[in-house]
Amino acid sequence: MLPPFDPWLSSRVAADVAVASHAGADALAARQARRLADLLASAVRGSALYRRLLQGGDPLGLRLDELPILSKSRLMGAFDDWVTDPALRFDALRRFTADRARIADPFLGRYAVWESSGSSGEAGLFVQDARAMAVYDALESLRRPALRPLQRWMNPWSLGERMAFVGATGGHFASTVSIERLRRLNPALAGSISSVSFLQPLDQLVAQLNALAPAVIATYPSAAVLLAEERLAGRLAFAPRELWTGGEELSAAMRGFVRQALGCPVANSYGASEFLSLASECRCGRLHLNSDWAILEPVDERGRAMPAGEAGVTTLLTNLANHVQPLIRYDLGDRVTQHDIACACGSRLPVIEVRGRNDDTLRLGAQQVRLLPLAVSTVLEDDAGLFDFQLVQKGPCELLLRTGLRGKAADASLRRARAALSSFLVQQGAAGVHIHCRSGDAGRRGASGKVQRVIAEPG
C-alpha cells in the first residue's frame, strides 16, 4: 500500500511554499494568522479535548497567548479525546507501531504514523494526514539549501546519486518512516536511497557505507563527527559530496571539523517528531523558521513570552499543518532564541537559534569503543521500554544508569535496561563494562533545557 500522498494537494502546497519563500513579513503574517484560525476552528469542531479546553469559543476571537500550555504527557494521556478523527485510537496505534514490518504502511489507509524517541523522557505517537505530509514534503524539498547549486540545477531530482541515512532504522521513527515513504512513492529513486543502522558495530557501519559510497549522507551531528574521525583514520574510504545534519545541536567546532575531515559542505536543519521541518539553513548559515506553517514561542518558567534575542526556558509549538492531531502551544522542551534581524540572504522568515540535544559519545572498554548517544538511547527505549533515564560514564568500564521512576516497576525496568544495554555493549566489542542502576534519581539538565541523557566520563 502506498503511504498518504495527494498529488493535487501537494502541488498546491508546494506552489504556496515557493511563493512564501520570497514573501514579505506582512504576507507571511497573513498566512500564519489565516492558518491559525483554521486550526483553532478544526480543533473546536473535531477534538473533544480542545472543546473542553477552549470552552467552545469562537476561533476568530481566540488569542494564542491566552490558550493553555499543554505537555506531551497530558496530550498522550487523553489521546482518544485529543485527535479529530474518532477512528484513531491510542491502543490500536501502539499495536501498529510495535510491528516493525509495517514501517511506512498507511494506518487506516490514510495516515502516516511515527513514534518519538522520548528525548524528553516520554514517548509519543504522532499521526499525519496527506495535508500535513504535503507541507513537510514542500518545506523539505524547497527550503533546504542547495549546497551544490549547479548540480541541483542540472539534476534537480538527484537521479543517479546515492543517498544514505545513518540512524535508527528499526522503528517507526519519523526519519525512518519518511525515508521508506519516499522510496515507495518514488520507485525510480528507491534503489539510490539507503538506510544504514548506527546500532551495528562501527566497523560494520563503515564497511556498509564504503560499499554504498553515497554522494549525500543525512545523519545526526554526533554520528557525523564519528564518520569524520573514521575518514581521518583512513577507514572511511570515500568522502560524500554533501552532509545533512539534524536532531542534535551542531556546534561551530563540530561543523568545522566535519567539513574539513570529509571535505564537503554541511547543511543543518531543525525539526522534531511533532513537526518535521521547523527550520532550514540559508546560504548565510542561519536557521530560518518556517513561520508560515509553524509558530514557536520561547517562554520563561511561567509561560511568559521572551523578548527577541533571549532564549526561553522552553519553547511552545503550534503546528499549523496538522488538523488531525492538533498541537497548539505544545511544550516542545527545546530552548530557542528568536532574533529580530534582517538576514543578508533576503529571506523574511524569522531567524532562530536552537539549543538542542547535546548528549555525549561514549568511549568504553579496553579498546575505547565509541558508542553514539542516540544508538544507546534507542536500545534503552526500544529493547527495554525505558524512556526516563540518564546514563553516566564513571570510568572506562563503568556506567551509572539512573531513572526518576520509583518502586517495583522502576526496578523491573532497570533490570530489563541493564540486560539490553549489556548485550548491546558486547555486540559492539565493549565487553566487561559494569552497569550500576539507581531509581528515584532524576538526571541533571543540559544546556538545551532537557535532561542530558548520555554523559561521557569527565575529561
| pLDDT tens for each residue of 205-244 | 999 999 999 999 999 999 999 999 999 999 999 999 999 9
Q: Cα(446)–Cα(154) distance, rounded to whole angstroms?
A: 44
Q: Extract the runs of DSSP E, i.e. beta strands, from 255-348.
A: 266-272, 275-281, 287-289, 294-299, 314-319, 330-331, 335-339
Q: What DSSP designation does 173 have?
A: B
Residues of the chain with CATH 3.40.50.12780: 7-355
Q: Considering the entire predicted model, what is its pTM?
A: 0.86
CATH 3.40.50.300 fits 7-355, yes or no: no
Q: Cα(23)–Cα(26) distance, rounded to whole angstroms?
A: 8
Instruction: List CB contacts of 49: < 8 A, sequence separation 6 or more.
Output: 75, 78, 81, 82
The per-residue pLDDT for 149 is 57
Chunked into runs of 10 residues, the chain (459 residues) has average pLDDT values of: 84 96 96 96 94 79 90 95 97 95 95 80 86 95 75 52 91 92 85 91 96 95 94 95 90 91 94 94 94 97 92 94 98 92 94 85 90 90 86 93 88 93 94 92 58 78
Residues of the chain with CATH 3.30.300.30: 362-455
Cell numbers standing for residue 165: 541515512
Q: Cα(78)–Cα(75) distance, rounded to whole angstroms?
A: 5
Comparing C-alpha atoms, which of 132, 131, 49, 121 is closest to residue 90?
Answer: 49
| pLDDT tens for each residue of 393-419 | 999 999 999 988 888 888 899 999 999
State the burial class of residue 217 (Cβ atoms within 10 Å of its Cβ: 0-12, 13-18, 19+). Answer: buried
The per-residue pLDDT for 249 is 84
CATH 3.30.465.10 fits 362-455, yes or no: no
| Number of Cβ within a 10 Å radius of residue 224 | 28
The per-residue pLDDT for 188 is 80
The per-residue pLDDT for 155 is 52
| CB environment 68-97: b (16+ within 10 A), e (fewer) | eebebeebeebbeebbbbeebeeeebeebb
The per-residue pLDDT for 102 is 95
| DSSP H/E element including 422 | helix 407-428
